Amino acid sequence: MSVTGGVIASNKLDGIFCSSGTLVVQGGAEVKSNTDAGLDLKGCTATVAGANIHDNTGDGVTIDSSNSASIGLGTPASTTTIAANKKNGVVVHQSPPNGSDANTVTVDTVAISGNTGVGVFLAGDTGSIGATIRNNTISGNHDTGVLVDQGAGKTTREAIQSNDVSGNNTASGHSVGGVFFETSSTLTSMVSNKIHSNGGDELGFAARSNAPVFDWSVAPAGGTCGASSNTLSCYGTGNVGLRVLGVVPITVDADGTRWASATPANGVDYSPGSGTVTAASPCADPPTAVCP
């Protein structure tokens, strides 16, 4: 099925439900004011390349695919917006890696803003996930910008690259407002992100990474400052750029990060809790943007 342009609005359930075959949503299609999700994807191959998904009573996009169907939300060549939905912007319950062990969900160059729940929520509650989140603007959501969870006996695997995550957690849904790894998962890449001006802490870890690594790394290759460095800045009073939560000792490699301070300090820029945060080779050029 292909939806090009037009308006899909005010349906009693989902705006678009797809459980098999192929779905393409493009050409500035508007999916709005539906009683449940804007898009409900449960097993079909889907491409969203230019759409405005907004003001739905449920999630903007919900994904619960037990197979390995490819799902692409957004493309660099199109404008895709997921905004002001009454639950999460995007929630992935399951979408396992495919037979080539590649991630099946890609959220790329999407503006995700003003949703009542989380901006992008990798829930992992009904099955495993392989997801890539890159080049997105994730802002002004009432809960955390990006929330990563993993259900018991399942695996969530994620790459988070080149996103601008700011101004989220306006309703204080979690203590970490930018990007929060709430449970164990497998983080394959986290580079070139700008995480700033969120309510609560900017980046947080509340459990150890999956075996066999156990420890987390948000450092660029070589652990030195460069184009792949993450930026953590504009943390409010009493908050930090990176916080380790929980009682199990957690180690986070944050070498080569750009902090609000040229010389990052424990308790000011990061808080290791009962664990360890390494912050060697920080970028010497703190962000120059004026914090709100």
Examine residue 166 and state whether it is found in any structural domain, yes or no: yes
Query: If you average pLDDT over residues 99-122, what whole number do you get?
Result: 98
Query: If you average pLDDT over residues 85-97, what whole number do you get?
Result: 98
Examine residue 92 and state whether it is found in any structural domain, yes or no: yes
Kindly report, residue by residue over 247-265, the tens digit of the pLDDT: 889 999 999 999 999 999 9
Query: If you average pLDDT over residues 40-45, what whole number do you get?
Result: 98
Position 284 scores a pLDDT of 87
Examine residue 33 and state whether it is found in any structural domain, yes or no: yes
Examine residue 211 and state whether it is found in any structural domain, yes or no: no
Determine which helix (DSSP H) or strand (DSSP E) holds 51, and give its type and residue range.
strand 45-54
Query: If you average pLDDT over residues 115-129, what whole number do you get?
Result: 98
Position 288 scores a pLDDT of 59
Q: With a cut of 80, say whether residue 101 has pLDDT above it.
A: yes
Rounded to the nearest integer, the mean pLDDT of the chain is 96
The label of the residue with tokens 């098999």 reads: 20
In contact, 129 and 102? CB cutoff 8 Å: no
Examine residue 271 and state whether it is found in any structural domain, yes or no: no
- If one compares 285 and 61, the residue with the highest pLDDT of the two is 61
Q: With a cut of 70, say whether residue 289 has pLDDT above it.
A: no
Kindly report, residue by residue over 179-211, the tens digit of the pLDDT: 999 999 999 999 999 999 999 999 999 999 999
Instruction: Determine the structural domain holding residue 137 and report its residue range.
Output: 2-199
Tell me how far apart the alpha carbons of residues 61 and 133 are, in angstroms, rounded to a whole number. Answer: 14
Tell me how far apart the alpha carbons of residues 234 and 166 are, in angstroms, rounded to a whole number. Answer: 9
Three-class secondary structure of residue 186 per DSSP = strand
| pTM score | 0.98
With vertex at residue 34, the alpha carbon angle to CA 33 and CA 37, rounded to the nearest 5 degrees, is 120
Q: How many domains is the chain partitioned into structurally?
A: 1
Q: How far is CA 51 from CA 31, 47, 55, 61, in A?
A: 8, 10, 13, 12
Could you give the percent of the chain with pLDDT greater than 70? 99
Position 241 scores a pLDDT of 98
Examine residue 136 and state whether it is found in any structural domain, yes or no: yes
Tell me how far apart the alpha carbons of residues 247 and 255 are, in angstroms, rounded to a whole number. Answer: 23
- If one compares 89 and 288, the residue with the highest pLDDT of the two is 89
Position 260 scores a pLDDT of 93
Position 206 scores a pLDDT of 97
Query: If you average pLDDT over residues 60-76, what whole number do you get?
Result: 97
Examine residue 237 and state whether it is found in any structural domain, yes or no: no
Examine residue 137 and state whether it is found in any structural domain, yes or no: yes
Position 246 scores a pLDDT of 86
Q: With a cut of 90, say whether residue 35 has pLDDT above it.
A: yes
Note the helical H segments in 16-111. none
